[in-house]
Homo-oligomer: A and B are copies of this chain.
């Protein structure tokens, strides 16, 4: 049996796991210490505060989604191709980082006002990427003209953000099928 020293990074990772599972306020520093094999008070050698841990996890979530949207838009292609990339990227972020994503989506509201408003700004920017691609698809007649870019981006993101609530990788649907199903559903709603 090997006993390994913890790093700041794996403390943050374990915090994401517990925040996702039991919520920020439902997780004590002693819970987190137990998860890592040390005392709650020892965590302060790695982080400044409990809030600090939440900030780190949530900001990682924001970075992941931002990077995904960046890559999707940089890939170029038709508006529907870019929309497909946005969807595939989002599903990938959710499936590969379930704890970070759950904390990002459900616990960000527990942040202090300053950090929370930065998260809201990041989410708005992310939603703008979806809205612009949908708007472009309407302009070039890929999508139906009566589509509302704002509402339809919210509806699509509602589907994508809810994945964390029900999708289990050991179920009947694998990751690439999931991308296909969400994409087909969205494009069916968007087309003429």
Q: A residues bordering B, Cβ < 8 Å?
A: 23-26, 106, 110, 144, 148, 151-152, 154-155, 157-159, 161-162, 165-166, 173, 181-182, 185-186, 188-190
Q: Check if A110 sits within 8 Å of B26, measured CB to CB.
A: yes
A31 to B166, CA, bound (A): 32
Please tell me which one of the listed residues B26, B173, B185 contacts residue A189 in the complex, with CB atoms under 8 A apart.
Answer: B185
How far is the CB of A18 from the nearest CB of chain B, in Å? 12
A173 to B186, CA, bound (A): 22
Residue of B nearest to A182 (CB): B155
Please tell me which one of the listed residues B110, B148, B159, B181 contacts residue A159 in the complex, with CB atoms under 8 A apart.
Answer: B159
Q: Check if B189 sits within 8 Å of A148, measured CB to CB.
A: no
A181 to B106, CA, bound (A): 26
Instruction: Determine the chain B residues whose CB is within 8 A of the CB of A23 once the complex forms.
Output: 23-25, 110
Please tell me which one of the listed residues B144, B181, B186 contacts residue A151 in the complex, with CB atoms under 8 A apart.
Answer: B181
Q: Check if A173 sits within 8 Å of B185, measured CB to CB.
A: no
Please tell me which one of the listed residues B106, B158, B159, B188 contacts residue A188 in the complex, with CB atoms under 8 A apart.
Answer: B188
Instruction: Determine the chain B residues whose CB is within 8 A of the CB of A157 once the complex forms.
Output: 162
Q: Which of A161, A162, A181 has the most B CB atoms < 10 Å from its CB?
A: A162
How far is the CB of A30 from the nearest CB of chain B, in Å? 15
- Show 29 residue pairs from A and B whose CB-CB distance is below 8 angstroms, ordered by the A residue: A23-B23, A23-B24, A24-B26, A25-B25, A25-B26, A26-B110, A106-B106, A144-B188, A151-B173, A151-B181, A151-B185, A152-B185, A154-B162, A154-B166, A155-B159, A155-B182, A155-B185, A157-B162, A158-B158, A158-B159, A158-B161, A158-B165, A159-B159, A161-B162, A162-B162, A186-B189, A188-B188, A188-B189, A188-B190
How far is the CB of A173 from the nearest CB of chain B, in Å? 7
Instruction: Determine the chain B residues whose CB is within 8 A of the CB of A148 once the complex forms.
Output: 181
Residue of B nearest to A144 (CB): B188
A165 to B155, CA, bound (A): 12
